[in-house]
Chains A and B, each alone.
Chain A
Amino acid sequence: MAETKHASNTKTAKTNRKNRLAQAFKQAPWRSRVQVVGGFLVALIVVLIVAGIYLSISGQAATAGLEAYRLDLKRLDLERQIADTRAQIAVLTSATNMEARALEMGFQRISPEEAIYLTIPGYAGKQTMMVTTPPGTEPAEKQLVKYIYRESLWDWLFTGINVLSEGALEVKR
């Protein structure tokens, strides 16, 4: 009996609150406009936040794109400079120049009679050119831009879902 009375009281209190709110909005119609404006502002803020994030990300992407382009040009430039420097070094150390420098420094060509020969244990003699490693396993192809920087939101989402679902399947097994 007491429980029924308590429930009835609660229901009455709720109805009263509703009525009071309705009355308040009737007495001051600007409250409903504030509600509308508030909703609009919240939506606007959400849009602004999304737009801001979008602008920020796309700005960064554009900067990164331009930087990649600039770096590629720089790479080409450096490759040319390296080639050019190699050629310059080769000219400076060419047989003609080296001989001229040696003569300037007082060196003389040796004759076979002047040569002194010694046995040096462990010395295999002058070795021919070996500039790189001999062939072995083919190196894996490297990609300039990692996948994570190229995947879209959807790719990321679906990859995540796939990973999760595969994980779930593993657990089931």
Chain B
Amino acid sequence: MKKSSFPRYSFLGAVLTLFAVAIFVQMVRIQNSADAEVLNDWANNYGYENRTIQSERGYIYDRWGNLLAGNKEVYEVGIEIKFVMNPAAIAAATSKVLGLDYGFVFKSATNPPEGFNYITLADFITSEQIDELSQLKTQYENKNPYGADPNKPSLRGLVWSPHLQRTYPEQDLASNVLGFFTFYDRKEGAGYYGVEEMYGNLLSGVSKNVLISLDPYEMQEIPTVPPGASLVLTIDREIQRSMEKILDHAVAANKADSGAIIVMNPRNGEILAMANTPRLNPNTYWNYNDYFPAGSSYNKSVNQVYEPGSVFKVITMAAALDAGVVTPHTPFFDTGQIEVGGWTIYNWDRGAWGEQDMVGCMQHSLNVCLSWVATQLGPERFYDYLERFGIGHRTNIDLAGEEVYPLSVPGDPTWYTINLATNSFGQGLAVTPIQLLTAASAIANDGKMMAPHVLKAYIQNGQQYDTAPQVVGTPISAETAKTLTDMLAISLEQEASDALVEGYRVAGKTGTAEIAVNGQYTSNQTNASFIGWGPVDDPQFIVYIWLEKPRSSIWGSIVAAPVFHDVVQELVVLMGLPPDDVRLSLAEK
């Protein structure tokens, strides 16, 4: 190495050293400059993302896995003020594609409220509309890159972000069972009625706010939350749809105010269908008031009590048979009236039916006979049986808002001796359809009353938890249940009821309950009902039908019994139940 090279190397070294020192000094200066605080604030503001992590609301399926409630992708559209290049173009595009008011958008983009960096223009926009906006934005961007030319349109600053919205693909199918979720309120949305309310906590999962560092060096595991639990209902979509069709037709044909049909498996309490009118499409839940004016019930099957009338006679007869007070062949001479507690009770037709047995009493639905049966039973045993059947108590079905009407019993100030008689044929007390169905299901299930329920299973954290059927009581013996079932089947057959279905032996009872108006019963407004089950030798379904204020006829035997026929005709096909003779012959093989 030449000696003359040293000064040059020394110079180079000095320059590099100075450069390094300059960098160091500059670093120290920046760290301590007046702008350091501002820069720190920027880093703090933009260095973290405050994210609300919300579980996806759980799905609701029918028993076969058909989706009844799910979630779909929609978008929030807004403008980021500082990136807006052409407010007029944004106003025009959103006005055309989203139908927004041009003036509102233009004003929002040009004269935003003080301190606002982002303004929401619209929410719950469909992906199709967003596709259209996106195409337009790309098209403008290609013609006017970065929106540099103010004379050319640009949608810079117009942004959208996706989120989920509750959706009900089957529209109003089973809407009274499902309830609805107020998805338009993205922060405080909640489930109302049905399973959406009942299982709201399970469905909604968890929500938490987390601070996520955007510094890639600080990137930690981004927290996740499991989705809300999904529910598998006992509802059978096909049966539900059929029942709703039959009910809609029956309500329209009989000019009834409303109606309800419940189908349950008496063996395990699973509700297979619960059809009601009116039905609200939960996708447009804001129309609630149009369907349910003040005082009306969302789900009449569980939310509304009414005097059931003669269908209640099955409970009275079950009690009397079980107590051994009567047998199917106990004679009764009907004079057309009976006095109880100083009041005279008449039959529905004010006629006298003469010599009868208990089958005849049920067949002709004789109030006088059943009042006599109740007096033979006595108040203590009669009300003890009603208690065992759960009358006056909630069934605790897993649907929100179940109503109950307290039962007046001896000793209560509201109870009089006449109540024993009137209660025996379903007046002076009130039940919900699900309550009476549950009580009667004991007769269809060898005396065992099963808890009615709509939840078959729920799925949480990737595992499925099945619900177990629950016996809630055994109000009568299996022998009594069988005897009464036979009596009711015979009474339908002898009456040649419209409820009968060829090939299938069914048991049932009609009900016509006069509606009290201003404390007086009026015969031109009734609740027409039918309770029935089948096949008699091995019941697979129990059905409750209620038509409120039918105008074609006031009688349950005329308006409700044919509905039961239609229901069973559909049920046997949908449930794959062969006619009795076929089934029995197959069983013998």
Residues on A lying within 8 angstroms of B by beta carbon are 30, 33-34, 37, 58, 61-66, 68-69, 72, 77, 79-81, 83-84, 86-91, 93-96, 109-113, 115, 117, 119, 125-126, 128-136, 139, 143-145
B64 touches which of A89, A94, A113, A129 (Cβ 8 Å): A129
Residues on B lying within 8 angstroms of A by beta carbon are 1, 3, 6, 9, 56, 59, 61-67, 70-73, 127, 162-164, 167, 169-171, 173, 212, 214-222, 230, 232, 237-238, 241, 456-457, 459, 461-466, 501-504, 569, 572-573, 576, 578-579, 582-583, 586, 589
* A64 and B65 alpha carbons, distance in the complex (Å): 40
CB pair A125–B576 under 8 Å, yes or no, is yes
A79-B56, A95-B237, A134-B464 are contacts. A90–B169 as well, Cβ < 8 Å? yes
CB pair A112–B6 under 8 Å, yes or no, is no
12 A–B contact pairs at CB < 8 A?
Answer: A61-B217, A69-B212, A79-B56, A80-B162, A86-B67, A90-B169, A111-B573, A112-B503, A119-B586, A132-B459, A134-B464, A139-B461
8 closest residue pairs by CB, A with B: A65-B216, A65-B219, A90-B169, A90-B67, A84-B73, A129-B65, A62-B216, A117-B578
**Chain B residue with the shortest CB-CB distance to A112:** B572
Chief secondary structure at chain B's binding surface: mixed
Across-interface contacts of A145 in B (CB, < 8 A): 220-221
CB pair A132–B67 under 8 Å, yes or no, is no
CB pair A69–B222 under 8 Å, yes or no, is yes
CB pair A63–B70 under 8 Å, yes or no, is no
Across-interface contacts of B162 in A (CB, < 8 A): 77, 80
CB pair B56–A117 under 8 Å, yes or no, is no
* A113 and B504 alpha carbons, distance in the complex (Å): 11
Across-interface contacts of A88 in B (CB, < 8 A): 72
Quote the shortest CB–CB distance from B55 to chain A (angstroms). Answer: 11
A95 touches which of B173, B501, B578 (Cβ 8 Å): B173
B70 touches which of A30, A66, A87 (Cβ 8 Å): A87
Quote the shortest CB–CB distance from B69 to chain A (angstroms). Answer: 9
CB pair B463–A136 under 8 Å, yes or no, is yes
CB pair B59–A111 under 8 Å, yes or no, is no
A79-B56, A87-B167, A112-B503 are contacts. A133–B464 as well, Cβ < 8 Å? yes
CB pair B1–A34 under 8 Å, yes or no, is yes
* A96 and B59 alpha carbons, distance in the complex (Å): 20
* A115 and B576 alpha carbons, distance in the complex (Å): 9
